């Protein structure tokens, strides 16, 4: 019981890490299997960026719609080329940080680089990778109207 209480308190009290875009890239994943990042070179952390045939402004609005469509999410930063959100687990209240970065490009498509990482723990049992894939599917659904 004390161990469970400690886990719950730890999940609820974790501070937001310093994240964002530096030198045109999202913060690298730590050396733990609880993070995915479209800028990662290693197979364990790499995930494909989301590519959408639309303007940057429209893509940003869609990111906000998709993220706000999850019941356990909260957008914490919304800038012209960057969105950050927190996803909180239902049982223990653990927080995962999800970032979206869509740099300027000459292409008519918008590339959305993504990073999703757990704040605490070592393994995430693939939760962050699965979340990004759910977000990708929601984008595809939005764009198929």
What is the rounded distance in angstroms from the CA atom of residue 23 to the CA atom of residue 2?
44
Q: What is the pLDDT of residues 22-78, one digit of tens each?
A: 999 999 999 999 999 999 998 999 999 999 999 999 999 999 999 999 999 999 999
Strand partners, 79: 82
Domain 2-142 sits in CATH at 3.30.310.80
Torsion sign over Cα 59, 24, 21, 118: positive
pTM of the model: 0.87
Cβ-Cβ contacts under 8 Å for 133 (sequence gap 6 or more): none
Phi and psi, residue 67, nearest 5°: -65, -45
């Amino acid at each position: 019981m004390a161990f469970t209480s400690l886990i719950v308190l730890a999940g609820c009290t974790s501070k937001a890490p310093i994240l964002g875009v530096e030198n045109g890239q999202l913060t690298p994943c730590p050396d733990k299997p609880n993070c995915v990042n479209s800028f990662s070179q290693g197979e364990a952390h790499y995930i494909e960026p989301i590519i959408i045939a639309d303007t940057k402004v429209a893509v940003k609005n869609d990111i906000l719609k998709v993220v706000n469509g999850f019941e356990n999410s909260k957008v914490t930063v919304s800038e012209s080329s960057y969105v950050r959100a927190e996803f909180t687990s239902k049982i223990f209240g653990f927080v995962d940080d999800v970032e979206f970065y869509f740099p300027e490009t000459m292409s008519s498509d918008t590339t959305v680089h993504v990073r999703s990482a757990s704040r605490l723990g070592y393994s995430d049992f693939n939760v962050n990778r699965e979340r990004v894939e759910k977000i990708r599917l929601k984008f595809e659904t939005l764009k198929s109207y």
